[in-house]
Amino acid sequence: MDYVIVSNEEMEKKKEEFYGNLGDFEKRFFNNLDLLISRINKLKVAEPGSLDYWTYYDVILTQIRAMFIETPKLKKNYTVQNYLINIGQKEIADEIQTYIDKELYEGISFKEAVKVSVDKFIAHYDKVDTEDVVIEHMCRIKLTEPNKEYNISNILTEFMQLLLRGIAKSCLNSCHLNQQK
């Protein structure tokens, strides 16, 4: 397979063309997704334990909270699940939700651990109890363990694969419907 190297200017032009053909929801959604991928790439090369590493970790965790862990009642939020539902891929949105609801540590789900970490230790400085401190600590340990299922990079890789599968299925369904017309 041959790869074509493009300049940053060419890449930005392609992004502008892509975003120009999208509605407001899609523009915001794909812009947020682009930021998340860029931040994950920065985290991967940051020195573990460094200020840069923990800064990217905090920002990524906050973005995961915003893009994946919102109440389902908020149908207009720019979440991955809402996007998948909007393109007719509810079953893949449900797969992501099932993953989010999995246990991270001793009865604490990934969802709960991320919510406590972001809501009480990053985005707000709410009153915390011993259980909150333990949850945040275990979240930090579990999500930064290299080559483990719940490593933050592995989780996002899994989510991106599900998202891409949903987009591909939606495109195939759309092409199939257009051929039938």
Residue-wise pLDDT tens digits, 87-122: 889 999 999 999 999 999 899 999 999 999 999 999
> Global pTM?
0.78
Q: How is the chain split into domains, by residue range?
A: 25-180
Q: Is 117 helix (H, G, I), strand (E, B) or coil?
A: helix
The tokens describing 110, both together, are 């990934």
Report residues of the chain scoring pLDDT below 50.
1, 3
Predicted local distance difference test score (pLDDT) of residue 2: 52
Predicted local distance difference test score (pLDDT) of residue 6: 56
Q: E strands, the chain, where?
A: 103-105, 108-109
Nearest Cα neighbor of 67 from 57, 84, 81 is 81
Predicted local distance difference test score (pLDDT) of residue 1: 45
In angstroms, rounded to a whole number, what is the distance separating the alpha carbons of residues 31 and 176?
A: 28
Predicted local distance difference test score (pLDDT) of residue 114: 96
Q: 4: part of which helix (H) or strand (E)?
A: none
The answer to whether 159 and 68 are in contact (CB under 8 A) is: yes
